[in-house]
Structure 1
Amino acid sequence: RDLLKAKMPKLPKKGKDSALTLKIFAMERKKKEVNRVLNLKSAILVKSEVSYLEYIEMRSEMERLKALKDTFVRRIEKLKQQAN
């Protein structure tokens, strides 16, 4: 029980701050998931032999995921500025 309490951040009591905090946590979760997928795709490219077509498809998907991750980072920064 103590471990769960230690990991969970305390949410502010204010309604607006609470909503912003929840949005920030949601964006951070999405960013982590995109980062996880990017790491998996990178590992696949490094460890296995893929055809040129598969390589091109994976590279374009990874570029899209990197752009998505950057978007999440910018949104998180904006939300944190609004929260302060």
Structure 2
Amino acid sequence: MPKLAKKGKDSALTMKISAVERKQKEVNRVLKLKSEILLKSEVSYLEYIEMRSEMERLKALKDTFERRMHKLKQQAN
């Protein structure tokens, strides 16, 4: 019975890890897109300030996901 519980726990961790990886990829994609927009286009100062603050929030979210991923991988081992 403990073997089944461990297998279920591993499965749950695997699902959590894949969900965090998916979220990380999306945040990275959006950050890259926003950076390209800022570099390639002429945006107004207000748009620039808004994008910069949004990018700061996304970077904080990215850091949170990285910490969560590290924690989940430690639990998996």
Q: Same fold (TM over 0.5)?
A: yes
Match of 2:22 in 1: 29
Q: For structure 1, list consecutive stretches of 5 or more residues without a partner in the other structure.
A: 1-12
Q: For structure 2, list consecutive stretches of 5 or more residues without a partner in the other structure.
A: 1-5
Match of 2:67 among 64, 68, 74: 74
Q: Number of aligned pairs? A: 72
Fraction of identical pairs, as percent: 86
The letter for the 1-side match of 2:27 is V
Match of 2:57 in 1: 64
Identify, as 1 or 2, the structure richer in helix.
Answer: 2
- The 4+ residue runs of structure 1 with deviation greater than 3 A are none
Name the TM-score, length of structure 1 as normaliser. 0.84
Distance 2:37 2:73 in 1: 34
The letter for the 2-side match of 1:26 is A
Higher relative contact order structure (alpha carbons within 8 Å, sequence separation ≥ 6): 2
1:45 has 2:38 as partner: yes
Name the TM-score, length of structure 2 as normaliser. 0.91
TM superposition shift of 1:74: 0.3
